[in-house]
């Protein structure tokens, strides 16, 4: 079993695996460390990762990208609509308000959810990992943005389950980065905690986390984010600038052409990277649109001026993260800058000005999340032993609960899990209820959420149950914020106390953090004595209450099974198409190889008639491949290949047998000579018998060789190499039998009379060993 960490980015994916010597980033089919987060549907086959990137220009409207921005979100969300306007594929609203992606495949239009598309990516990464490691992959840790809502986290778990993965934890990106940073660092101050700010500027978002490090532990103090500020926004600045320039200079509207937009965006991304290292850069695209070649030019200073609004926005999450952590800029000891969008020099200057210190780049900006996830997986898995290191993360949103639409008051507000609550945590609620009721978690502060996210999370139904005495029934509910950052009701228990007298105060809230109770709660203790001094009897009954969950937008068990079956069928179709391609390529290669050999290597071994017939068949097969056979089944290519081999094999066998026959004849002559030399120690009768057989074999081989040499090469040989080998084997058997008899005789004569069997005749010896041409190596001797 392997230990793996996955970082599924908006643009690229990275896989890290823990091995005995440390954490390694795995390579894909192209020997690259990053794999495109793309899924492309062709006419009969899916293309995933690098293959999807290669096919994207041919199938722009069936290539799905940015699926991370869509998963677990509603179709009518304004941010989602903005995303969809930049994506080329067709979408619609699902029955649950989610997103349906329309893709043409196998001649039909199929509808997939973002969860299913993400599952395809997971399955591809799982296959790559198993291929690299040669081991099955099940346990993993997956990196997610800190701003992911409960619904998005559940969607990730559903996608992983469809792909056959078992996530041990969904880990925040900056938390994973901080783990990879802190676990190896040994120079933290003993005077107090070291506070480090991690700024992750990705392709589509910016995340900032303040982390407190001490020896053997790390604690996340705060998370902040801007989920619509990333590297692609700087690309869009360049895209809009050049689109306007080209419309003015060349009279073309790039926005109206999907393929042209894709090409210009890709060129702008490359241009941005060039500007990171150069003061100016050109842009040249051949035949961008309407068969027009376009040229452009921009200076870094001009680019930074255009992007000034984006640069100013970087300060906002940094300020919020420091404020939520209860610190000031002066108490930040280091700043680590990571992410694929962090390489713009202006961003570094902006952060240096804000934090009043130069940001560091001591960790790999693209691989840090995957490496941290792999380390966390090793810490959670029983397979590896990792030195003790405590990782304490927190939730970036405040969460409250309502009881039958009425918020549960906790202190002075309705927040049961405040922002910054450690993960995992639990709360035990004790409520006075007599029958079925509903608990509904919700985000208590909508201002903390990304725009467009509803405050409702889910609904838990506690019951049905029936209390025997409604006034004295207590229900104890344990609510958990688990390791994935997901809210659920772990259990519910009905507790009934039967007393003759007195009332029991019932309200209780008990806080449990990281699995242990750390708070206090108030509960009035019933007295066992009445006013007249008599003691009242009391009994208690505990009954587990069923809990059911209703979450709008997640997949049911039946839907998960259907999605798994569909993924298996798609994977089988992919394998079938790959096998078909392999057969087609094998047939094509065979045609070219045999055509070359037929007139060179095999020329003397084929008659004119055979050569003409084979050449004609090869030509017909080649024409068929590029005409009717361009898109055929695996069986069609296999039958064509077998038909060609049936014609070519006789010629090929003659060529191969000539070399083998020469070697076999040489070996046989040598064997005969060796046997003759070895018969001197045999009795006369045995020696004569063996020499006669050797003479017969030598005479037979000489005659057959002479006859074979007189025949042309383009007919089947009279003396096949296997005949020489059979004769050689016969001679070695004869030699072995003679030497075995002699060996038994000599050994028997050497035995003392006490060792011999009773009765007439010599003792029989059972000999086991290994035989070669003229040598018999004994491994075991026993007396029979």
The string of pLDDT tens digits covering residues 644-678 is 999 999 888 888 888 787 787 887 788 778 877 87
CB-count burial class (<10 Å; 0-12, 13-18, 19+) for 630: exposed
3-class secondary-structure state, position 466: coil
| pLDDT score recorded for residue 110 | 93
Residue 526 has pLDDT above 50, yes or no: no
Contact 169, 483 (CB under 8 A): yes
Compute the Cα dihedral for 68, 74, 79, 83 and give only its sign: positive
Residue 449, token pair as written in the block:
């959420």
Residue 177: closest CA among 370, 403, 432: 370
As a whole number of angstroms, the distance between CA 70 and CA 92 comes to: 12
| pLDDT score recorded for residue 728 | 55
Task: Count other Cβ atoms within 10 Å, centred on residue 113.
Answer: 25
3-class secondary-structure state, position 73: coil
* Geometric angle at alpha carbon 669, from 666 and 673, rounded to 5°: 135
As a whole number of angstroms, the distance between CA 620 and CA 628 comes to: 11
Write the pLDDT tens digit of every residue in 424-459.
999 898 888 888 889 999 999 888 999 888 889 999
Q: Strands, E, within 373-424: which ranges?
A: 390-394, 399-403, 406-407, 415-417, 422-423
| pLDDT score recorded for residue 770 | 45
| pLDDT score recorded for residue 762 | 43
3-class secondary-structure state, position 547: strand
As a whole number of angstroms, the distance between CA 69 and CA 91 comes to: 14
Say what the pTM is: 0.80
| pLDDT score recorded for residue 14 | 96
Write the pLDDT tens digit of every residue in 118-171.
999 999 999 999 999 999 999 999 999 999 999 999 999 999 999 999 999 999
- Name the CATH topology of 559-739: Substrate Binding Domain Of Dnak; Chain:A; Domain 2 (1.20.1270)
CATH of domain 231-312: 3.90.640.10
Peptide bond into 484 cis (omega under 30): no
As a whole number of angstroms, the distance between CA 365 and CA 25 comes to: 13
| pLDDT score recorded for residue 504 | 37
Residue 284 has pLDDT above 90, yes or no: yes
Domain boundaries, given as residue ranges, for the chain: 4-192+213-221+358-380, 231-312, 399-523+536-550, 559-739
pLDDT band at 747 (very low <50, low <70, confident <90, very high): very low
First to last CA, the chain: 52
Residue 469 has pLDDT above 60, yes or no: yes
Largest Cα–Cα separation, the chain: 132
Q: 88: which strand partners?
A: none
Write the pLDDT tens digit of every residue in 565-595.
999 999 999 999 999 999 999 999 999 999 8
As a whole number of angstroms, the distance between CA 184 and CA 245 comes to: 50
As a whole number of angstroms, the distance between CA 538 and CA 532 comes to: 17
Residue 748 has pLDDT above 60, yes or no: no
Write the pLDDT tens digit of every residue in 217-266.
999 999 999 999 999 999 999 999 999 999 999 999 999 888 899 899 99
As a whole number of angstroms, the distance between CA 215 and CA 186 comes to: 8
| Superfamily of domain 399-523+536-550 in the CATH hierarchy | Substrate Binding Domain Of DNAk; Chain A, domain 1 (2.60.34.10)
- Name the CATH topology of 4-192+213-221+358-380: Nucleotidyltransferase; domain 5 (3.30.420)
As a whole number of angstroms, the distance between CA 652 and CA 716 comes to: 11
| pLDDT score recorded for residue 470 | 54
């Amino acid at each position: 079993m392997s230990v793996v960490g996955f970082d599924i980015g908006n643009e690229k994916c990275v896989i890290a695996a823990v091995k005995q010597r440390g954490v390694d980033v795995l390579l894909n089919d192209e020997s690259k460390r990053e794999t495109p987060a793309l899924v492309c549907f062709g006419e009969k086959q899916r293309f995933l990762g690098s293959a999807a990137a290669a096919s994207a220009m041919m199938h722009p409207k069936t290539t799905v990208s940015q699926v991370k921005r869509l998963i677990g979100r509603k179709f009518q969300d304004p941010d989602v609509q903005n995303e969809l306007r930049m994506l080329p594929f067709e979408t619609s609203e699902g029955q649950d308000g989610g997103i349906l992606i329309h893709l043409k495949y196998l001649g039909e239009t199929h509808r997939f959810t973002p969860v299913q598309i993400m599952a395809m990516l997971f399955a591809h990464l799982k296959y790559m990992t198993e291929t690299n490691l040669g081991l099955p992959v099940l346990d993993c840790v997956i990196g997610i943005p800190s701003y992911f809502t409960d619904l998005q986290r559940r969607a990730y778990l559903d996608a992983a389950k469809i792909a056959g993965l078992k996530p041990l934890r969904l880990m925040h990106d900056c938390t994973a980065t901080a783990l990879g940073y802190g676990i190896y660092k040994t120079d933290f101050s003993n005077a107090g905690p070291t506070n480090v700010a991690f700024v992750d500027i990705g392709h589509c978002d910016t995340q900032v986390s303040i982390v407190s490090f001490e020896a053997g532990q790390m604690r996340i103090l705060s998370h902040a984010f801007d989920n619509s500020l990333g590297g692609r926004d700087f690309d869009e600045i360049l895209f809009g600038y050049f689109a306007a320039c080209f419309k003015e200079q060349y009279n073309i509207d790039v926005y109206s052409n999907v393929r042209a937009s894709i090409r210009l965006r890709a060129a702008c991304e490359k241009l941005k990277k060039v500007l990171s290292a150069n003061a100016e850069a050109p842009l040249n695209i051949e035949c961008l649109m309407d068969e027009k070649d376009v040229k452009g030019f921009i200076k870094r200073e001009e680019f930074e001026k255009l992007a000034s609004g984006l640069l100013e926005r970087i300060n906002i999450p940094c300020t919020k993260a420091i404020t939520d952590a209860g610190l000031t800029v002066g108490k930040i000891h280091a700043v680590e800058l990571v992410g694929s969008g962090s390489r713009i020099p202006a961003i570094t200057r902006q952060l240096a000005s804000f934090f009043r210190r130069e940001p560091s780049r001591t960790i790999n900006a693209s691989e840090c999340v995957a490496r941290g996830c792999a380390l966390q997986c090793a810490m959670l898995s029983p397979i590896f032993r990792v030195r003790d290191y405590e990782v304490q993360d927190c939730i970036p949103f405040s969460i409250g609960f309502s009881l039958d639409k009425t918020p549960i008051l906790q202190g002075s507000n309705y927040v049961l899990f405040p922002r910054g609550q450690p993960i995992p945590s639990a709360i035990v609620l004790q409520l006075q209820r007599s029958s079925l009721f509903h608990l509904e978690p919700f985000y208590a502060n909508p201002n903390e959420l990304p725009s467009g996210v509803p405050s409702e999370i889910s609904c838990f139904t506690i019951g049905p149950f029936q209390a025997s005495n409604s006034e004295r029934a207590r229900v104890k509910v344990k609510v958990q914020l688990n390791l994935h950052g997901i809210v659920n009701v772990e259990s519910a228990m009905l507790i009934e106390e039967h007393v003759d007298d007195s009332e029991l105060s019932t309200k209780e809230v008990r806080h449990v953090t990281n699995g242990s109770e750390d708070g206090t709660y108030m509960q009035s203790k019933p007295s066992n004595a009445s006013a007249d001094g008599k003691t009242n009897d009391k009994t208690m009954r505990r009954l587990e209450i069923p809990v059911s969950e209703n979450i709008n937008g997640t997949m049911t068990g039946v839907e998960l099974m259907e999605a798994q079956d569909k993924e298996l069928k798609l994977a089988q179709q992919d394998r079938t198409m790959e096998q078909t391609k392999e057969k087609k390529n094998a047939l094509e290669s065979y045609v070219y190889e045999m055509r070359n050999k037929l007139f060179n290597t095999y020329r003397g071994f084929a008659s004119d008639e055979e050569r003409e017939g084979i050449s004609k068949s090869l030509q017909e097969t080649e024409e068929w491949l590029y005409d009717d056979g361009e898109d055929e089944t695996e069986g069609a290519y296999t039958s064509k290949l077998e038909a060609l081999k049936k014609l070519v094999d006789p010629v090929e066998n003659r060529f191969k047998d000539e070399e083998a026959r020469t070697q076999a004849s040489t070996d046989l002559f040598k064997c005969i000579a060796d046997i003759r030399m070895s018969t001197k120690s045999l009795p006369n009768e045995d020696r004569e018998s063996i020499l006669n057989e050797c003479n017969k074999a030598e005479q037979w081989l000489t005659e057959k060789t002479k006859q074979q040499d007189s025949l042309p090469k383009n007919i089947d040989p009279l003396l096949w190499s296997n005949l020489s080998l059979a004769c050689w084997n016969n001679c070695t058997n004869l030699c072995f039998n003679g030497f075995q008899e002699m060996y038994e005789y000599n050994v028997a004569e050497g035995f003392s009379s006490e060792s011999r069997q009773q009765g007439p005749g010599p003792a029989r010896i059972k000999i086991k060993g290994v035989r070669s041409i003229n040598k018999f190596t004994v491994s075991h001797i026993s007396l029979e």
